[in-house]
Every structure is written in structure tokens, then in C-alpha cells.
Amino acid sequence: MIKKIGILSVAFVLFSLGLKAQKVEITPQYGYQFGANYSYYGGYIKFHDSDQYGLTFGINAADDITIEFMWAQQNSKVSGQDIILYPRETDLTDVTANQYQIGAIYMFDDDQLRPFAGVSAGWSTWNPEEEKYQSLTTFTMGVTGGLKYFFTNRIGLRLQGQLLIPINWGGFYLGSGGSGLYASGSILQLNITGGLIIGLGD
């Protein structure tokens, strides 16, 4: 996974350098991902809080608009409760969640301090550590808001909050053989992150 992200990062940078009139921003980020629940009749599946890390790549399409690609990873655990299978909340497995988003942000000022807001869309992957549990890929929408503060034209800080909404049409299943936990619908995932902006180009 890290290798794939590295290759994608290099390709993105090379592409960006070809846009001579555009400024490129690379932002390694670290923060906190709040937990979320899949609820269903008779129980729920819970994704626990944990830290989160990732990268955001941006190309300035205009002075106040940036096109972005974001990748983030969360290493968490899943627990569940079911009136038949697990009458009490039970830890089920560790899980690695990866988020991939493509979108745009609008910046409201042209100064050192730049508030911004944006929207995005992409996909999420959920990979349980225990092989008996099924992995899941979902279409995901995102809403972002935050601040950028630039010390120089090329170096700055980024603080943001992001709401991710994985949409799961077919349901989420954790189980083995003929039994398991099943939930369908969508969840809300909120994260708060910060990172160092590294600017390239004009």
C-alpha cells in the first residue's frame, strides 16, 4: 500500500511540475479519527476512535481554488453487539481503513492566513486483520473546512476538520460460515488533522 502511494505521489509531482504556471502543495498530515457505528435492527457494528495519518496533494487552479487528492489511513478495531450472536459488545478484529478523495477547496482570503472549505468524492477500503472477515470497498463523499497559515510562499501549516460519508449500498458483513453481523446504510466519520504545507512552483 505504501509503495502504491509513493508511486502515485511521484506521478502527481511530475505531472504538477509540468504545469509551470501552477503552484503545487504537498501536505503530510496527522490527526485523530473519531469512531462511527453501523446500526441495524438487533445490534450494531462499531469502528473505534484512533489516530490517522496521510498525504494531501494540491494544484492551484486559480488564486482561490485548489484541486486536491487526499489519502489517509486509520488503524482501528471493530467491535459488535447482536441480540443473537453477541448479546454484549465484543471485540471482533483489528481493521485498516484507507480513504481516497479527489475534490476542490475554496480559499476565502489572499493573505498569510487563508480559511478554506471544500467538497470531495472517492472511495474507502476496510480490511479486517482476521481473514475470516470480509473486506469492503465503498463510495465515499467528503466535506472539508479549515485554515492554512503561510510562513513563506512555500512553507505553511494546515489545520482542518473533515467529514467523510462512506455510502454502502450492499451492507457491511462481519462473520464466518453461516453466521455474522450485517449492517447496511451510511455512516459519518469525522477527523481533525494538521500538517506541514510544502509548496512547489510559482
* Whole-number pLDDT of residue 62: 82
- Over residues 116-145, the mean pLDDT reads 88
- β pairing state of 136-150 and 155-176: antiparallel
Give domain limits for the chain: 2-201
95 touches 76 (CB < 8 A): yes
* Whole-number pLDDT of residue 86: 67
pLDDT digits (tens, 9 = 90+) for 143-164: 999 999 999 888 999 999 999 9
181 touches 194 (CB < 8 A): no
d(CA 57, CA 66): 10
Q: List alpha helices for the chain, DSSP H.
A: 2-17
Question: Which of residues 194 and 22 earns the better pLDDT score?
Answer: 194
Q: 2-201, what's its fold?
A: Porin (2.40.160)
pTM above 0.95, yes or no: no
Residue type, 173: Y
Q: Cβ neighbours of residue 9 under 8 Å, at least 6 residues apart? A: 26, 55, 57
